[in-house]
A and B are shown apart, each in its own frame.
Chain A
Amino acid sequence: MTPPSSRRRFLAGLASGAGAFALAGCDRLVQNADVDSVLRNTEKLTMRGQRALLPRQRLAREYAEADLSPDFRANGTQMPDSDEYAHLLEREFVDWRLQVDGLVQRPQSLSLAELKRFPSRTQITRHDCVEGWSAIGKWRGVPLAQVLDAAGLKPGARYVVLHCADELEKTLDGSGRYYESIDLLDAYHPQTILAYGMNGKDLPVPHGAPLRLRVERQLGYKHAKYLMRIEVVDAFGALFGGRGGYWEDRGYEWYAGI
């Protein structure tokens, strides 16, 4: 008869073997392209569901000054690592211009001073990171709708692509540059602003100086920082990895409402 200790060891071995098999099986399933495309359908379901429940112009909750996070966590790039950005920062962004082009009637090149001459909007909102943390901050900026109206959309315009100054992943071909895209429904939402101010001051560098996007009904990675260029397009499939954003190209959902 087998002594209990070796039987226990045998059973433990069996259990860990089964566990390892299940693990390997799960990982293989995760990496299977067909399985992935089935799972990804839920993103469309989620987006349709949320859009059906959300009246177009409904505002995200706004908070009071007393609710502000004492220390708003800066995430992703904290300081873009390029000579171009270093020069812009050194001269306090007087040489910085926001390019607005693509499917627009009148391409724009806007300085920070010019952006600040548009009517501004200030909002205290909650920033929800995909990782799970939340922070409340006060943002001041120009509604994206006004900038788009100044440029005038051409027929066929469907998405607004935000090109950034920072490379989150260092690559030779530039594919590690941060970018994001939103559709016109979000672009024209009253709380979608190009923010140049945070918590009563100029937007700090770790939070995306001189200009970042706020698109309040979606997760943090959609809120592109260090904006350089706004490109209006009919489709984003030809850009970078083809999924409409830096993190989207690395597996996150394009619709980040959940």
Chain B
Amino acid sequence: MAISNPSPVVTPPAARRQLIRRHSATVRITHWLNVVCLSFLLLSGLQIFNAHPRLYWGQYGADADQAFIAISTKQSGNALQGFFQIGPLSIQTTGFLGVSDEGGSATARAFPAWLTIPSYHDLGAGRHWHFFFAWLLVLNGLIYLTYGVWRGHFRRDLLPSGGQLTPRHLWQEVLDHARLRFARGEAARRYNALQKLSYLVVVFGLLPLMVLTGLTMSPGLDTAFHFLPDLFGGRPSARTLHFISAFLLVLFVVVHVVMVIASGLWNNLRSMLSGRYAITDEGTAR
């Protein structure tokens, strides 16, 4: 049996480990479906991005127009060089962005083969995978949102309490996170404020933004809802935001996974698989 958070407590008599029910079945299932959807969406999305690795701001944007973010390939003598450009800044990224190995030879491609589905260039296949998992993500998201409102999951688990939002408390949490010090005992029963806020930003900010900017790239839906492109300043702008929010989601996942590992990988994994989370009551008043 694994015991998480072994701590050098000198007075163990009252230390008591108990399993609490942390995640409902709906949360667990939708969480793992999300993992699958977002993985396929990211990798097939990069395949689609590779077809035109330039991002613009405005109502139109093509090769002759100024790109806001771009990945490009230049021929330098016999060699290919890859560049990542954002605004006026351009850095060489040969080997990763712009030029990378495909089938044993340096190939001009924005994102490398190991980051795209399929690994070789096939926009049509990339789109099939992207739209399949986009539908699944939306259906999964609707189930999760309905459940969250209906069963009070958002109010109970994700809405920060008044006390959690004071600057003093938030600063303390930032320090605790930086030192990788995590809540124990009773305090571990609920999410901390930084956790709640980042989950809220993902659930009600980034994911809806992904879906809406994705839909804005559809000429069919832009016809049905003329306000869609206006919402984001044009279809090219929506495509840029789609890319940026995907990047922010990746950033979230990285931090999320690091925190999961740092705060007890097995305990966290079990709670998202079976629902049960172990807390150790150290017998200290909190």
Contacts and interface: CB of A to CB of B under 8 A. Distances in A.
B223 A217 contact: yes
Contacts of B223: 54, 58-61, 216-217
A172 interface: no
Interface residue range, chain A = 35 or more
B221 interface: yes
A161 B54 CA distance: 33
A39 B128 contact: yes
If over half of B's interface residues share one DSSP class (helix, strand or loop), that class is named, otherwise mixed; here it is helix
Contacts of A46: 131, 135
Contacts of B215: 258
Contact of B128 (A40, A134, A250): A40
A146 B142 CA distance: 44
A45 B54 CA distance: 29
B81 to A, nearest CB: 23
Contact of B219 (A38, A218, A247): A218
B235 A131 contact: no
B128 A36 contact: yes
B166 interface: no
B52 A133 contact: yes
Given A26-B117, A30-B117, A258-B217, A134 B123 contact: no
Contacts of B235: 126, 128, 134
A217 B122 contact: no
B131 A43 contact: yes
Contacts of A20: 114
B62 A27 contact: no
B20 to A, nearest CB: 34
Contacts of B252: none
Interface in B102-140: 113-114, 117-120, 122-125, 127-129, 131-132, 135
Range for the number of chain B residues in contact with chain A: 35 or more
Most buried by A among B123, B125, B128, B235: B128
A231 interface: no
B281 interface: no
Given A40-B128, A70-B64, A251-B125, A26 B119 contact: yes
A223 B49 CA distance: 22
A96 B166 CA distance: 76
Contacts of A70: 64-65
A128 to B, nearest CB: 5
A257 interface: yes
B43, B62, B117, B123, most chain A CB atoms within 10 A: B62
Nearest to B131: A42
Contacts of B234: 134
Given A23-B114, A69-B65, A217 B51 contact: no
Nearest to A125: B219
Interface string A192-223: 00000000000000000000000011110000
Contacts of B226: 61
Contacts of B59: 63, 67, 126, 134, 136
A23 B120 CA distance: 10
Report, nearest first, the 5 A-B pairs whose CB atoms are least far apart.
Answer: A251-B124, A257-B220, A71-B64, A258-B218, A133-B62
Interface of A: 19-20, 23, 26-27, 30-31, 36, 38-40, 42-43, 45-46, 50, 53-55, 58-61, 63, 67, 69-73, 126, 128-136, 216-219, 247, 250-253, 257-258
Given A26-B43, A27-B120, A251-B124, 7 more contacts: A27-B118, A38-B132, A67-B60, A72-B62, A73-B62, A73-B64, A128-B219
Interface of B: 43, 48-49, 51-52, 54, 56, 59-65, 113-114, 117-120, 122-125, 127-129, 131-132, 135, 215, 217-226, 229, 234-236, 239
15 contacts: A26-B117, A27-B120, A30-B129, A39-B129, A42-B135, A46-B135, A54-B220, A58-B223, A61-B226, A67-B59, A72-B62, A132-B51, A133-B62, A134-B62, A216-B223
